[in-house]
Amino acid sequence: MSGEENQFNVQGYNIVTILKRLEAATSRLEDITVFQEEANKHHNNSNSSTNLITSQNESNSGLALKDSETPVTSSTEEKIPEPKSIVAFKQFINESVSPFVENSKSIDPLVGESAQLFQQAFEDQIQFLTIVSQSQKPDYSDPLFAELLAPTNEKITKINNLKDDNRRSNFFNHLNTLSESAAVIFWFGVPTPVSYVSDIKDSAKFWSDRVLKEYKDKDNANVEWVKQVSDIFDNLKAYVKEYQTQGPSWNANGKPFAQAIDDFKSSNKTATDNSNNPPAAASASAPAPPPPPPASFFEESNTSANPSATASATAPEGGMNAVFAQLNQGSNVTSGLKKVDKSEMTHKNPELRKQPPVAPKKPKNLASSSSASSNDTNTSSLVKKPAKKELVDGTKWIIQNFTQSDASGPIVIEVEMHQSVFIGNCSDITIQLKGKANAISISETKNIGIVIDSLISGVDIIKSFKYGIQVLGLVPMISIDKSDEGSIYLSNESIQNQCQVFTSSTTALNINIPEANDDFKELAVPEQFVSTIKDGKLVSQIVEHAG
């Protein structure tokens, strides 16, 4: 080894050799680093492509999954199709009843209101028929059955009250037509509904013919109104004949009645909740909510939940609450009226006719009446008077204030020739008089039936509504004044002795006479007359109804 190389030796190691080896190792490391970087870059590119493909596949599969889920969800949530009977009944309401209601509103507000209740009663039957299609036939004495029909009964009652409270209306015949027609709502309660619909149509035709007679050559809207009433009966009869020939078509394989009602209520509640809680996306674009209802709405709705609120709400006089409070009195609404004795009847006492008429009192200012006095009056009128049946001085029977709750069966009285009978302020009862009495006086009654053996004098009927009189023996005279919707069944003995029937301010009175087959023939008592002057004399003739 030369001297130059020796100077680079360190402890036996040559520095030049060490540097060359380090340079070679460094170059090797650089090559490895470059190769590793290239390899990593290629690996990353391949991973990103794989991830992209995977994400695309996942998104596509997600969309496909959503698309596949959508029809499944809609199919599971799809409602059970309505039975044909329900669809047909809704079509009947839309095509027959709804146009009739619109025409009624154009004729008169009261007629429109009554027709609207008529339609609502039909709409209540949609719920009933829906439950019928899903339920087994229940026991009609089941309280749930009465509860289901309660809304319908309420509307029928309102229709009758509208007629009773507006007897002086120019459209009283219209209201009577609707009142008689309303009975057809209960077609489902009879085993032969087809014939029942026809019978109710004949009953309503008595009043609709009056409308036709009055407006036949004057107003086409009223003539069309009469035709629409007839069409409602005809179309309902066709529906019942096709779908409900023998009454409601209960489902023999359906649910129990109580379960069907619960399921119907729960489905309605779900539908209501869904309509009240729309999705967030839809609510974002929905219009602003309507303004709050008037204060009277909250007052009426809170009374049912808060008894104290009910007491405070009914305290003020006036408003619809006071009106319905009066209507809900039933038979007691006439309890404050003065009963007319025979001695005070002008048609029985000619001397009373000679007295000069009394000037009417000046009406008081309604605003000046105190609420305290009116509340006292309302409270006293709501108190039902006790039922009374007694014989006074051995000569006069008095039967007063009886209702259906006071008498579960007929009230039977044994009468004698020297006794008279007074029946007043009674409703929904039947009275049978056995024996021969002197006379009977009936005043301010509703829905009563009276069976009479024989009388010496006769029967006086005053201010009564929906009454029935059946004569088994001899009654020489029947006098009827200011009464409505009565039926009299005469015996052959009374007819042979020329029983006389006097009527005054009386409507819808029918006299039934026996026929050979133990049936009765119905004869309508005339109510309208036309008078003319001939040779200085008044000549009156009966106005026959258009048939």
Task: Give 185-215 pLDDT, tens digit per residue.
Answer: 888 777 788 888 888 888 888 888 889 888 8
Structure token pair of residue 204: 């309503």
Burial of 118 (0-12, 13-18, 19+ CB in 10 A): buried
Would the pLDDT of 478 be above 70? yes
Cα(125)–Cα(93) distance, rounded to whole angstroms?
11
Q: What is the CA radius of gyration of the chain?
A: 43
Q: Which residue blocks in 492-535 are alpha helix, DSSP H?
A: 492-496
- Please, how many CA atoms are within 13 Å of residue 14, restricted to the half-sphere of its CB? 10
Ranking 45-54, 135-144, 212-221, 279-288 by mean pLDDT, the lowest is 279-288
CB of 428 closer than 8 Å to CB of 403: yes
Cα(201)–Cα(217) distance, rounded to whole angstroms?
24
What pLDDT is stored for residue 14 in this prediction? 65
Cα(465)–Cα(443) distance, rounded to whole angstroms?
10
Angle at 66 between CA 64 and CA 67, to 5 degrees: 65
| CA nearest to 201, candidates 228, 219, 222 | 228
Collect all residues with Cβ–Cβ distance below 8 Å to 112 and sequence separation of at least 6. 101, 104, 105, 106
CB of 545 closer than 8 Å to CB of 209: yes
pLDDT category of residue 453 using cuts at 50, 70 and 90: very high
pLDDT category of residue 263 using cuts at 50, 70 and 90: confident
Query: Mean pLDDT throughout 449-467?
Result: 93
| CA nearest to 106, candidates 254, 17, 225, 278 | 225
Burial of 525 (0-12, 13-18, 19+ CB in 10 A): middle
| CA nearest to 237, candidates 204, 284, 196, 177 | 196
Structure token pair of residue 116: 């609207």
First CA to last CA distance, the chain: 153
What pLDDT is stored for residue 489 in this prediction? 94
Would the pLDDT of 299 be above 50? no
- Please, how many CA atoms are within 13 Å of residue 438, restricted to the half-sphere of its CB? 10
Give pTM, 2 decimals: 0.39
pLDDT in tens, 422-447: 999 999 999 999 999 999 999 999 99
User: Dihedrals φ, ψ of 286, to 5°?
Assistant: -70, 150
- Letter for the amino acid at 177? T
Neighbours of 155 (CB within 10 A): 20
Neighbours of 292 (CB within 10 A): 8
| CA nearest to 485, candidates 541, 524, 443 | 524
pLDDT in tens, 303-315: 444 444 444 444 4
pLDDT category of residue 450 using cuts at 50, 70 and 90: very high
| CA nearest to 248, candidates 183, 188, 184 | 188
What pLDDT is stored for residue 63 in this prediction? 43
User: Dihedrals φ, ψ of 329, to 5°?
Assistant: -70, -20
Query: Mean pLDDT throughout 270-296?
Result: 50
What pLDDT is stored for residue 3 in this prediction? 53
Collect all residues with Cβ–Cβ distance below 8 Å to 333 and sequence separation of at least 6. 326, 327, 381
Would the pLDDT of 374 be above 80? no
Cα 129–chain centre separation = 15
DSSP string, 233-297: HHHHHHHHHHH-TTS----TTSB-HHHHHHHHHHHHHHHHHHHHS--HHHHHHSPPPPPPPPHHH
What pLDDT is stored for residue 472 in this prediction? 93
Q: Does CATH place domain 385-542 in 1.25.10.10? A: no
Collect all residues with Cβ–Cβ distance below 8 Å to 192 and sequence separation of at least 6. 246
Selecting from 1.10.3720.10, 1.25.40.330, 3.40.50.300, 3.40.30.10, what CATH number does the domain 84-268 have?
1.25.40.330
What pLDDT is stored for residue 46 in this prediction? 53
Query: Mean pLDDT throughout 497-520?
Result: 89
Q: How far is CA 170 from CA 173, 230, 404, in A?
A: 8, 21, 34
Mean confidence (pLDDT) of the chain: 75
The DSSP 8-state label assigned to residue 385 in this structure reads: P
